């Protein structure tokens, strides 16, 4: 169960949760995935997971006690308990100009990260009936922010005197990321995919034009998604903000799926692009404490009829987890089974 979400009943599923999630990505859906089918894996051997206060593996991790510190590049993050995450303290960026990156960035030696020990510790954690997604913080623009602060990074992306250096930096970052993902696949062969972060927007708008993202970020993302797919794994993008304008770039970059935040027009995104990228969709919002059970079931059926289409599947957005009451969950499972497969099984 997820924090803040009701307890979720488990049914006599016709396939495992891992198989159902994989079927959704292959556009052969079995039922509507609701996030209980996945398991996040963010092992502490990756320095960024500890620095960001988000380590998830077989051993307990207390972010208040252990979160923060240096990431894989030695950039120090500070864990802020009030917001449940870490940030780089602004005002003293490593780079004042992107052209400085070759002289100032110290690149990590990933062979020193203790892969064999982490593999032993996490064998049972990743060998399960859930779809195991490796959570990877700090994509391309997010990494640039950590080096330059937000203002410096956003300026460098568009400045003609810095763009070339940014692209060269992104190219070397991409080589590093592919090497890290190859290590994950080698030492944790039971993982199923990668969930990679790169935030592109605010509450109201994207940070940069689609043309700039297509030029500066998409080619490097595509190298990563091509590698992941060549290994038989899935590639999911995590990108916050109101970024409807950037969905075509997500598709060009080769991402399999994306969960938009609620400030986006998710229905429009699904209608326009749901046949090219699997979208995390939202039902009509209701108060689980006061909404009658039959109304909850009606909302679940309406949601399934809108978004559970065999040739255009979706999955339940994480922001709807608090709506997963027993009645809503049961009705969604039944109706999505009917819509996707022509049948319902309790």
Q: What is the DSSP letter of 69?
A: E
pLDDT tens for residues 284-323?
999 999 999 999 999 999 999 999 999 999 999 999 999 9
- Model pLDDT, residue 259: 98
How crowded is the C-beta side of 11, counted as CA atoms within 13 Å? 20
Average pLDDT rounded to a whole number, residues 131-143: 97
User: Can you tell me the distance from the alpha carbon of 344 to that of 346, in angstroms, rounded to the nearest whole number?
Assistant: 7
Q: Answer whether residue 264 shows pLDDT above 50.
A: yes
Which value, to the nearest 10 degrees, does the dihedral of the CA atoms of residues 306, 307, 310, 314 take? 180
How far, in whole angstroms, is CA 191 from its chain's centroid?
Answer: 15
pLDDT tens for residues 144-163?
999 999 999 999 999 999 99
pLDDT tens for residues 27-62?
999 999 999 999 999 999 999 999 999 999 999 999
More confident residue, 342 or 88: 88
SS3 305: helix
- Model pLDDT, residue 346: 44
User: Can you tell me the distance from the alpha carbon of 96 to that of 152, in angstroms, rounded to the nearest whole number?
Assistant: 7
Closest CA to 54 of 134, 120, 113, 118: 134
Q: Which CATH class is domain 37-281?
A: alpha beta
Q: Where are the domains of the chain?
A: 37-281
pTM: 0.94
pLDDT tens for residues 60-86?
999 999 999 999 999 999 999 999 999
């Amino acid at each position: 169960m997820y924090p803040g979400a009701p307890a979720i009943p488990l049914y006599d599923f016709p396939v495992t949760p891992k198989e159902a999630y994989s079927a959704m990505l292959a556009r052969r859906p079995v039922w509507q995935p609701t996030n209980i089918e996945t398991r996040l894996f963010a092992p502490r051997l990756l320095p960024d997971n500890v620095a960001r206060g988000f380590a998830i593996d077989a051993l307990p991790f207390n972010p208040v006690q252990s979160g923060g510190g240096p990431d894989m590049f030695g950039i120090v993050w500070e864990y802020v308990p009030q917001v449940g995450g870490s940030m780089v303290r602004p005002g003293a960026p490593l780079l004042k100009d992107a052209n400085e990156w070759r002289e100032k960035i110290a690149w990590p030696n990933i062979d020193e990260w203790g892969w064999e020990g982490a593999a032993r510790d996490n064998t049972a954690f990743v060998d399960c009936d859930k779809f195991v997604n490796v959570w990877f913080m700090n994509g391309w623009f997010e990494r640039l922010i950590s080096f330059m602060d937000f203002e410096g990074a956003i300026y460098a992306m568009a400045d003609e005197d810095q763009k070339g250096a940014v692209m060269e930096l992104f190219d070397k970052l991409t080589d590093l990321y592919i090497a890290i993902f190859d290590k994950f696949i080698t030492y944790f062969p039971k993982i199923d995919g990668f969930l990679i972060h790169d935030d592109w927007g605010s509450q109201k708008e994207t940070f940069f034009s689609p043309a700039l993202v297509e030029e500066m970020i998409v080619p490097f993302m595509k190298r990563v998604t091509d590698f992941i797919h060549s290994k038989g794994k899935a590639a999911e993008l995590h990108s916050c903000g109101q970024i409807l304008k950037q969905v075509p770039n997500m598709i060009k970059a080769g991402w399999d799926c994306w969960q938009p935040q609620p400030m986006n027009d998710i229905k429009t995104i699904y209608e326009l692009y749901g046949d090219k990228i699997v979208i995390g969709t939202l039902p009509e919002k209701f108060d689980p404490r006061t909404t009658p059970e039959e109304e909850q079931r009606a909302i679940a059926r309406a949601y399934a009829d809108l978004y559970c289409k065999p040739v255009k599947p979706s999955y339940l957005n994480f922001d709807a987890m608090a709506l997963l009451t027993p009645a809503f969950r049961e009705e969604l499972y039944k109706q999505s089974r009917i819509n996707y497969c022509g049948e319902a099984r309790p």
